[in-house]
Amino acid sequence: MDKVGAASERPNRNVGSPRPTFDAPTKIARESVTQFLWGDEQSGLVADWIYASTARVHMLVYGLARDGACRHSPSHRTIFGADVCYLVLEGTLALANPETGEVKVANPGELLFFRKDTWHHIFSKGETPLRVLEYFAPPPSTGTSRAYAETRPYLEEACYERADDVGVLPSQNRRDSLRLIRPTDAAWRLEGAMLVGLLVSTEHLHVAALRLRQSETSDVRRRGGDAVVYVTDGTLHVRSTYEGSTYWFELHEGDAVYIPIRAEQQFFNYGGEPVEAVIGVAPDWSPT
161 and 244 in a single domain? The answer is no
Q: Which residues contact 52 (CB under 8 A, 6 or more apart)?
A: 20, 21, 22, 28, 58, 59, 226, 228, 256, 258
pLDDT at residue 17, as a whole number: 85
Diameter of the chain measured on Cα atoms? 62
- 106 in Cβ contact with 95 (< 8 Å): yes
Domain-ending residue, one of 113, 148, 180: 180
pLDDT tens per residue, range 178-228: 999 999 999 999 999 999 999 999 999 999 999 999 999 999 999 999 999
If one counts the domains in the chain, the total is 2
228 and 251 in a single domain? The answer is yes
pLDDT tens per residue, range 222-280: 999 999 999 999 999 999 999 999 999 999 999 999 999 999 999 999 988 999 999 99
pLDDT at residue 271, as a whole number: 85
With a threshold of 0.85, does the pTM exceed it? yes
**How many residues in total does the chain contain?**
288
- 80 in Cβ contact with 56 (< 8 Å): no
Domain-ending residue, one of 163, 180, 197: 180
pLDDT tens per residue, range 10-62: 333 345 789 999 999 999 999 999 999 999 999 999 999 999 999 999 999 99
**What CATH number is associated with residue 209?**
2.60.120.10
Closest to 262 (Cα-Cα) out of 225, 208, 218, 219: 225
H/E stretch holding 209 reads: strand 206-212
The three-class DSSP label of residue 239 is: strand
pLDDT at residue 173, as a whole number: 61
- 222 in Cβ contact with 247 (< 8 Å): no
138 and 55 in a single domain? The answer is yes
Domain-ending residue, one of 157, 180, 203: 180
pLDDT at residue 1, as a whole number: 56
pLDDT at residue 166, as a whole number: 85
8 and 98 in a single domain? The answer is yes
Q: Residue 53: which domain range? A: 2-180
The three-class DSSP label of residue 207 is: strand
Helices and strands, number each (H, E), in the chain: 1, 24
68 and 25 in a single domain? The answer is yes
Mean pLDDT, the chain, rounded, equals 93
